[in-house]
Structure 1
Amino acid sequence: MVPTHHTKPARQRVAFAHDWLVSLRGGEHVLERLIDASSKKYEPAGIYTLFHRKHTMLPKTAALPIRKSPLNAMPARRWLLPMYPWAVDRLSDKLARDHANHAIDLLVSTSSGLIKSIEAPDNVPHLCYCHSPARYLWHAIGDYSTGSGAGAALRRFGLARFGDKLRKYDRDTVRHVDAFVANSKHTARQIETAFGRDARVVHPPVRTDRFTVDPKVDREDFWLVVSALEPYKRVDLAIEAAMTAGNRLMIAGVGSQLASLKKLVKQTDRRFKSVGLGGGRSSFIQFLGRVPDEQLIGLYRRARCLIFPQVEDFGIVALEAQACGCPVVARRAGGAVETVLEGRTGSFFADPTEEAIRQAVDRCPSDVAEQCRNNAEKYSEARFDDAMLRIMDDMLRR
């Protein structure tokens, strides 16, 4: 009798696309989780990205082949925006060639820019997890056009000169996406407005096993901002509110606006001194730069509150803070409306002014670690994994 050999069927292969891998922010943690979750059922086939810097990689992401656009070799990526459509199209070409050599079964893009425009090979479905339609093209153009100095002037010129062409490309290539998943109801509405497409909502995963409450750590009186230092994040409002209130503010994060924010601190201090309110308030503001998780967790556990002054598409930072028992003072807009419980895990302000922030801090509840933690646990990694794997299964059965 001839023995029968059973060969294990090959796992279906999933390729990923991500705008750029140059820093570690919420989007990169979502990508890492998608790779980790999908690897339990499928074979991750690599990542396609416009730009890549090795030192910013998380382990599951770093383990995969990285296919970079031709722009990766060029400096000053922010000023290459008019060339992004060409670069995305070249990534589509690379994906097609790779598929011809070793076929993929599904393309998953995680996008807050133009990478959602990458085209999957024929008969390969494309699922886009959208953090936001490109903010600088759609709903936050003003935030990228304000400011003084040469950098702000160049941004204004670039968006005025190329904005319409980029929006047309972004809208025309939405046909490359078979299904959208939005990170919040707010983002789903933006997808519908920009592209006329529906999106299911799956909130991003919060590392609730990493970010935890420590009842042995006492809360202090400083305010906290955890944010990329970019125009739309409105860190300037938090600075002005803290200096006016005479309260300490710790700012964890890096970005293109660091120099201008430090200049704002000096200007605000001089303004207070000039009207007889005394100087020296610049000492209330501390820029911490990029901080590791261990330090960040300590800040969340000690801060009086997290200040969240921007209109964020979701805002995972607000839930990391709550996972550590820290209440949140947030703008009443965007994803924060879904994740902060007024009077229970934080407070809201409607107007983007320093006075409104100060009043919201006064209303912010204290001693609410348990309520904050319970709220954050509703956004666990396990919930995210289950929801996204079900959607990926559905796409692969089409």
Structure 2
Amino acid sequence: MDAMIEAEPRPREAPRVALAHDWLVGMRGGERVLDRLARLYGPTDLYTLLDSGVVLTDAIAACRVHPSALQRFPRATGAWRRHYLPLMPWAVGRLRVAPCDLLISTSSAVMKSIRPPDGVPHLCYCHSPARYLWEQSADYAGGAGGRLRSLGLTLTGPAFRRWDRRTAGRVTRFLANSAHTAARIKRCYGRRAAVVHPPVRTAYFTPDPSVEREDWLLVVSALEPYKRVDRVIEAARQGGFALRIAGSGSQAETLEKAVANVPNVQMLGGVDDPTLRDLYRRAAGLVFPQLEDFGIVPVEAMACGCPVAAFVPPIDDPRGRGGAAETVTDDSGVFFDEQTPGAIAQAVTRLVATPPRADACRTQAERFAESVFDAAVTRHVEEMLAGG
């Protein structure tokens, strides 16, 4: 009788999943993705070029962080980080990943090129092929120290691009944050990528029916040249609509001077999450003037019932159409196809005249919830661990 009783199966050990991320110096969209991965697979080993030591989230802080040799260079985690771009291939090449079952990298620079242990599959969540190498090098040459960075990239760029393309072979499977990025991965690396949109905190960013919408427009952005915030300021000056701008960055002082004599534009600086959610709930609409690979801000706004006026280039634009073409619909916003003050002002007029319904905005945003991201990533991880 005892011989007929089958032994209970041993519980399966959780797979050992190591993580890699370009750098840990601030909390932006890429770090939101890393946080979800750390929640799914951490605490675990986390490899990075640079670690500023700032606690980004509890899940990330719980990981065992292994910074590269670049960490020892002067001001590498601060203002001089971009000066070290030509050294990043060397730094990532020196990282040694401990034994694991799967390596997951999140990359918009060089971390897709980290070398996994022999026989270990490597899943790369790619926010973008390195912009400063392929399509937006001029943006990285702007600002203080830009000429020095530009000289470094001019001298090393061709070899850097060859290295970047060659080391794409270290990735077993690519995930892209949008169809726009998947097309760029194919163009730059000759590799296919499955699309898994980034996680958006739709459980936090929610409408509040007790809050009435007001008559001003909102921009939420890093204040950097390629974000085109200056174009929205000029549109507000010409069109006379009230505008509030939340964000910080290298252009902050320049933009503050630009709005000094424009009474209908208010600079708010960087804001915390509760303030940001309140802004989304009260704004008449969000203006999104930049070309992004995905763009989490419009989805956060829509999750709060706030409609969006978004820049989406013409269909034949060689840059592609950007992430807003995938996140914003006619039911949740309006579009403009030129990054000019006139086009922005016209889009704002259309948005205010016939605002999309808040419930339609919310429904669209829920397509990008954290649970949707978790399920998609889990499926890819299970396939790879099974040898797929």
What TM-score comes out, normalization by structure 2 length?
Answer: 0.90
The question of whether the paired residues in 2 share the 8 Å contact of 1:228 and 1:254 is answered with: yes
Separation in structure 1 between the aligned mates of residue 277 and residue 187 of structure 2, nearest angstrom:
37
Structure 2 distance, partners of 1:110, 1:59, is 18
Q: Does structure 2 conserve the Cα–Cα contact (< 8 Å) formed by 1:184 and 1:202? A: yes
**By how many angstroms is 1:7 displaced?**
6.0
CA contact (8 A) 2:259 2:266 kept: no
2:28 matched residue in structure 1: 25
> In 2, distance between residues paired with 1:312 and 1:172?
25
Write out per-residue CA displacement over residues 310-366 of structure 1, whole angstroms, 9 at most, x where no aligned residue.
110011111000000111111113010011112x21111111111110001111142
Shift of 1:58: 0.8
Q: 8 Å contact 1:84–1:114 — kept in the other structure?
A: yes
For the pair 1:376 / 2:365, whether they are aligned, the reply is yes
1:275 alignment counterpart: none
In the other structure, the counterpart of 2:139 is 143
Aligned with residue 253 of structure 1, among 224, 227, 247:
247
Change (3 A) 1:7 1:166: same
User: 2:41 corresponds to which residue?
Assistant: 38
Identity %: 52
Give the structure 2 partner of residue 386 of structure 1: 375
Q: Distance in 1 between matches of 2:254 and 2:155?
A: 25
Q: CA deviation at 1:122?
A: 0.2
Partner SS, residue 134 of structure 2: coil
What's the CA shift for 1:395?
0.9
Alignment partner for residue 200 of structure 1, among 194, 205, 208?
194
- Picking from 294, 297, 300, the partner of 1:320 is 300
CA-atom RMSD, angstroms?
A: 1.9
Letter in 2 for 1:87: A
Counterpart residue number, 1:86: 90
Distance 2:374 2:276 in 1: 25
Partner of residue 317, structure 2: none
Aligned to 1:128: 124
> How far apart in 1 are the matches of 2:304 and 2:144?
40
3-state DSSP class of the match of 1:136? helix
Superimposed CA distance per residue, residues 94-150 of structure 1 (whole angstroms, 9 cap, x where no aligned partner): x1xxx2xxx2100000111111110101011000001111111112223334x5x64
Q: Helix, strand or coil: the match of 2:244?
A: strand
Instruction: Tell me the distance in 1 between the aligned counterparts of 2:286 and 2:152.
Output: 34
Q: 1:6 deviation in Å?
A: 7.8
Give, in angstroms, the shift of residue 5 of structure 1.
Answer: 10
- Report the counterpart of residue 347 of structure 2 in structure 1: 360
**Aligned residue type for 2:357:** V
Match of 1:159 in 2: 153
Whether the aligned pair in 2 keeps the contact of 1:38 and 1:389 (CA below 8 Å) is no
Query: What whole-Å deviation, never above 9, does each CA across 1:351-393 have from its counterpart, x for those lacking one?
Result: 1111110001111142521110011011111111111001001
Counterpart of 1:337 (choices 316, 322, 325) is: 325
Residue 290 of structure 1: how far off its partner (Å): 2.3
Number of residue pairs aligned between Structure 1 and Structure 2: 367
3-state DSSP of counterpart to 1:54? coil
* Cα separation, 1, equivalents of 2:302 and 2:61: 29
Structure with higher helix content? 1
- The corresponding residue for 2:103 is 107
Structure-1 residue corresponding to 2:318 = none
Could you tell me how far apart the structure 2 residues matched to 1:257 and 1:89 are?
33
Tell me by how many angstroms 1:244 deviates.
Answer: 2.0
TM-aligned CA deviation for residue 252 of structure 1: 1.7
Query: What SS does the corresponding residue of 2:94 show, helix, strand or coil?
Result: helix
| Aligned pairs (5 A) from 1:245-284 | 245-265=239-259, 280-281=261-262, 283-284=263-264
Aligned residue among 178, 181, 186 for 2:180? 186
Letter in 1 for 2:102: L
Compute the TM-score of the two structures, normalised by the length of structure 1. 0.87
Where does structure 1 lack aligned partners over 5 or more consecutive residues? 267-279
Q: Does 1:13 align with 2:24?
A: no
1:238 and 2:241 are equivalent in the alignment:
no
Tell me: CA distance 1:68–1:360, structure 2 relative to 1, closer, same or farther (3 Å): same
CA contact (8 A) 1:144 1:232 kept: no
CA distance in 1, matches of 2:266, 2:336: 23
- Asked if structure 2 preserves the Cα contact closer than 8 Å seen for 1:144 and 1:231, the reply is no
CA distance in 2, matches of 1:381, 1:32: 11
Equivalent pair of 2:82/2:149 in contact (CA under 8 Å):
no
Contact 2:235/2:342 (8 A) holds in 1: yes
Go from structure 1 to structure 2 and tell me whether the alpha carbon gap of 1:90 and 1:141 turns closer, same or farther (over 3 Å shift): same
User: 2: CA distance between counterparts of 1:290 and 1:264?
Assistant: 18
Aligned position for 1:219: 213
Distance change in 2, residues 1:214/1:150 (3 Å) = closer
Q: Provide the C-alpha distance between the structure 2 equivalents of 1:354 and 1:154, rounded to a whole number of angstroms.
A: 31
Q: CA deviation at 1:161?
A: 2.4
Give the match for residue 396 of structure 1. 385
Query: Which sits farther off after the overlay, 238-247 or 305-314?
Result: 238-247
Is the CA contact (8 Å cut-off) linking 1:306 and 1:326 kept in structure 2?
yes
CA distance in 2, matches of 1:219, 1:128: 41
